[in-house]
Amino acid sequence: MATHWSQIQESGALIGIRFMFFIYRWFGRWAFGLLLYPVIAYFYLTKKTARQASQEYLTRIRAFNALPNNASLRQQSFRHFLHFGRGLLDKLAAWCGAFNYHNVQFRNRDDFLNMVDQGDGALVIVSHLGNLEVCRALADASQRIKLNVMVHTKHAENFNRLMNNLDGDNHLNLIQVTEVTPATAILLQEKLRNGEVVVIAGDRTPVSGGRQSAADFLGAAALFPQGPYILASVLRCPVYLMFCVRGEQGYEISFEAFADSIRLSRKNREQELAFWVQKFADRLAHYTLLHPLQWNNFYPFWVAPATSPSTPL
């Protein structure tokens, strides 16, 4: 059985992350870039599971002609790791206020801000494509917005501890969850009533197993969580998608209206959940094919579907 993503230990200690950030602050991005190569090379050579997962993903990407067919798969995989390492710098810079938000382009931001101005909250489904932490730019651009990001904090305890130390304006709140429970739903409902935004990842299956559906993703079946859509049906709020990728001119944050609301019937619940899961998988595939080296997934993703779902929310 493939190792669950949450069981893959966090690579690098807090002191190592602080050291890398120290290099950037005192010597600049060029020095960070020089140091990045031997660090990434070490992890590339020693993290076999992550390396194999990267190569499997890139093989599927190449089948869609999103990567040059004559390029070495190992070379492309190493570049995949490098993109992740460079994204780490931007994560730190975004949280401490050193990120250049002038190079961030927003798509459909006005529609989203208009919704926030009306005092309504929203559920935003994101992925591990690109750099989620740059979404802090959204909070910095408007003091009206409070983001509540649901994370599996234990999986990245050291990094999140540093992030919390660097974030001084409290526009972004990390909510640790291992599964969505009724108590979690009540907490989030209160956030929405206050006009805040709840952010949840749509490309990580629940830590405890949980409810999940198989969807066609890049030509093969992969498991996606049902949690975001079950949560949306409970919260009865507008649902958006957000993708944050690095383009030629800087980061691009795209908002997409996903659903005015999601309603799940008792009779066709599983079929309706499968519909929403597939709809998200299609949009994720669209963006990964445009930015293939920016999907930060380094664990086996294409696995056999679960034979029996867990107890619903």
Residues 67-81: pLDDT tens digits? 988 889 999 999 999
State the residue for tokens 């009533």.
193
* Structural domain range at position 74: 5-294
Among the listed residues 237, 255, 236, the one whose alpha carbon sits nearest the alpha carbon of residue 245? 255
Q: Is residue 26 a part of any domain in this protein?
A: yes
Helix (H) or strand (E) holding 69, with range, is none
For residue 220, tell me if it sits in a domain. yes
DSSP designation for 147: E
Alpha-carbon distance of 174 to 46, in angstroms, equals 30
Lowest mean pLDDT among 146-155, 159-168, 229-238, 247-256: 159-168
Whichever domain contains 13, its CATH number is 3.40.1130
- Cβ neighbours, 10 Å, residue 119: 10
pLDDT at 253 over 90: no
CA 6 → CA 1, 95, 210, 211, distances in Å? 14, 23, 13, 16
183 in a domain, yes or no? yes
* pTM: predicted TM-score of the whole model, two decimal places: 0.84
Cα 23 to its chain centre, rounded Å, is: 26
Looking at the 3D structure of the chain, how many domains does it have?
Answer: 1
- φ, ψ at 62 (rounded to 5°): -65, -30
pLDDT tens digit sequence for 95-130: 666 666 677 888 887 777 777 677 778 899 999 898
Q: pLDDT-derived band of residue 313, with 50, 70 and 90 as boundaries?
A: very low
How far is 210 from 9, CA to CA, in rounded Å? 21
Q: Residue 303 falls within a domain, yes or no?
A: no
In a domain, 308, yes or no: no
Q: How far apart are CA 279 and CA 285, in angstroms?
A: 10
| Structure-token match 């009206």, residue found | 144
253 within some domain: yes
Where does the pLDDT of residue 26 fall: very low under 50, low under 70, confident under 90, or very high at 90 and above? confident
User: Is the pLDDT at 257 greater than 60, yes or no?
Assistant: yes
- What pLDDT score does 208 carry? 56
The answer to the question of residue 40 being in a domain is yes
Span 174-198, average pLDDT: 81
The strand ranges marked E within 178-288 are: 197-201, 212-217, 220-225, 239-247, 250-259
In a domain, 302, yes or no: no
**pLDDT: which is higher, 41 or 92:** 41
**What is d(CA 126, CA 135) in angstroms, rounded to the nearest whole number?**
10
- DSSP one-letter code for 129: B
The pLDDT confidence band at residue 221, using thresholds 50, 70 and 90, is: very high
- Residue 281 main-chain phi, psi, to 5 deg: -60, -35
User: Cα 250 from chain centroid?
Assistant: 18
